[in-house]
Amino acid sequence: MSTPALPDTQSPSNTDANTQAGDDATASSTARIVESLTRAIVEHRLHPGTKLAEQKLADHFGVSRTLVRQALFQMTRNHLIRMEPARGAFVATPSADEARQVFAVRRMLEAEMTRAFVQQVTPGQIKSLKAHVAAEKQAVASQDVSGRTELLGDFHVRMAELMGNDVLAQLLGDLISRCALITLMYQSTSAAEHSSEEHAEIIKAIAAKDEALAVQLMNDHLKHVEQGLQFDRKLPSNDISMALSS
């Protein structure tokens, strides 16, 4: 008489659930690394050219080097990280030509975004943008460099979000992350202080539903930022441990 086969200690459904849980945990850890590194770059705590040593990052985040490597590869997609054979990962160092191209694309996108925003603007949206500019001004006044940098960039993403256009918001978010590197490398200190005032003027034109003026002000604003770039500046440097501990 044959012995009946013992049932598996783990049913297929349980195996699938555990596999899914493991995948979710991996994705969550990778996303956490990407978010932390991106924020450090956008807030100008991690500078262009900084080497991102996998083991140091793994120790900092308490994860494997494999997860760190996955996060770094993800960040190459939006050009915040560059991978060099046999050398590893580095925070990207955009060239002057790339900087000009990024701003050219932003002007194309944001002119049309501003035009569309004026056509559907509501009092609630104006109130939200005014609150955002008030936070910008507070960060500028308190010399909160990282907060100011984040808020000034987020103003443009916020417009897309208020329109309910998630695709545009994501595209702008990626472009503005690249701009954070560009401004860190090439922008003078005084040039950054005018952006909040220009945002306030853009809001006034939008609230008045003056489409032509709003688009012109947005274009002028982006041109002013680009014109404030000094392409002969010395490349800044920073230490990864200090940047991620901030």
Provide the phi-psi class of 143: left if phi over 0, else alpha when psi is between -120 and 50, else beta.
left
Q: pLDDT digits over 103-152, tens only?
A: 999 999 999 999 999 999 999 999 999 999 999 989 888 877 777 878 88
Q: Determine the pLDDT at residue 222.
A: 94
Distance of CA 153 to CAs 6, 9, 14, 172, 183, Å? 61, 53, 45, 9, 11
Q: Determine the pLDDT at residue 172.
A: 93
Write down the CATH number for the domain with range 24-93+235-244. Answer: 1.10.10.10
Q: pLDDT digits over 20-50, tens only?
A: 545 566 778 899 999 899 888 877 788 888 9
Is residue 141 within 8 A of residue 42, CB to CB? The reply is no
Q: Which residue has the higher pLDDT, 46 or 237?
A: 46
Q: Determine the pLDDT at residue 244.
A: 64
Is residue 186 within 8 A of residue 230, CB to CB? The reply is yes
The domain segmentation of the chain, as residue ranges, is 24-93+235-244, 96-227
Q: pLDDT digits over 202-227, tens only?
A: 999 999 999 999 999 999 999 998 88
Two tokens, residue 185: 């490398």
Distance between CA atoms of residues 152 and 137, nearest Å: 10
The answer to whether 24-93+235-244 and 96-227 have equal CATH topology is: no
Residue 152's closest CA among 210, 213, 196? Answer: 196
Topology at the third CATH level for domain 96-227: Four Helix Bundle (Hemerythrin (Met), subunit A) (1.20.120)
pLDDT at 7 exceeding the cut of 50: no
Is residue 99 within 8 A of residue 182, CB to CB? The reply is yes
Q: Given pLDDT bands bounded at 50, 70 and 90, which one contains residue 170?
A: very high
User: What's the gap between Cα 172 and its chain centre?
Assistant: 9
Is residue 229 within 8 A of residue 187, CB to CB? The reply is yes
**What are the backbone angles phi and psi of residue 20, rounded to the nearest 5°?**
-65, -40
Q: Which residue has the higher pLDDT, 147 or 66?
A: 66
pLDDT at 169 exceeding the cut of 50: yes
Question: 127 CB contacts (<8 Å, ≥6 apart)?
Answer: none
Question: 232 CB contacts (<8 Å, ≥6 apart)?
Answer: none
Q: Which residue has the higher pLDDT, 219 or 176?
A: 219
Q: Determine the pLDDT at residue 6.
A: 46
